[in-house]
Amino acid sequence: MAFVCDIQIEGDPEVAPLKFCDALYVVADERQLVAFAPVVVWCEVCDSFQAGESPDSPEDIRKHIRDAEEGTFQGVANFLLESPDQIRQWAAYWQRQLTCRLVRQSPPKCLCCGSTAIWGLDERSPNSFVIPSSGKLAALSLTFDESAVDKRLRLYTPEGDLLGEIPRYDPCNNRQFDDSTPYDVVMTMLRTMGL
């Protein structure tokens, strides 16, 4: 998915919108690709809003797996859980998330600079944020925008370190790369690009 975050900071001229798309963790030991959706964070090093990480805790992921297996998952994708096959797919998705999360030691990072000095948005008021360095109030508006899709797919280690970027579209197989793409195909593409 592609998202655009329009940002207005009190007392500042117009701020360029932040655009970001889904990304993949590459779990080499398990030969798995794990999709994740970046979130909007304030990065102290970049001194701006950036795409960042917000991984679920292992306990939360285990609950999602149980809920998916029981057909009681109440997340945004609840509508997918209509058949036993869809329930298995959703449980498998959360199992991949758990595999990735259990090898991670690092706190969440800014996906622009790699800093862990980031501030996430408060879930109780996700449309406003007080910037720690200035005390200014920022108003945020997040929208889905298919036209904002990045033509590159960013790949990260489970620790949130950038491995590289590959084209989002796989012309050989006439499809987009995602977490269902075979691991070896993505690794070959990375090697082909000299990464």
pTM assigned to the model: 0.82
Residue 176: strand, helix, or coil: strand
Per-residue pLDDT of the chain (195 residues; tens, 9 = 90+): 567 788 888 887 777 788 777 789 999 888 999 998 888 899 999 999 999 998 889 999 999 888 877 766 655 444 555 677 777 788 888 899 999 999 999 999 999 999 999 998 876 777 788 888 888 888 888 777 666 666 788 999 999 999 988 888 777 777 788 888 888 988 888 888 765
- Could you give the CA distance from residue 177 to residue 24 in angstroms, rounded to a whole number? 10
- Could you give the CA distance from residue 65 to residue 73 in angstroms, rounded to a whole number? 8
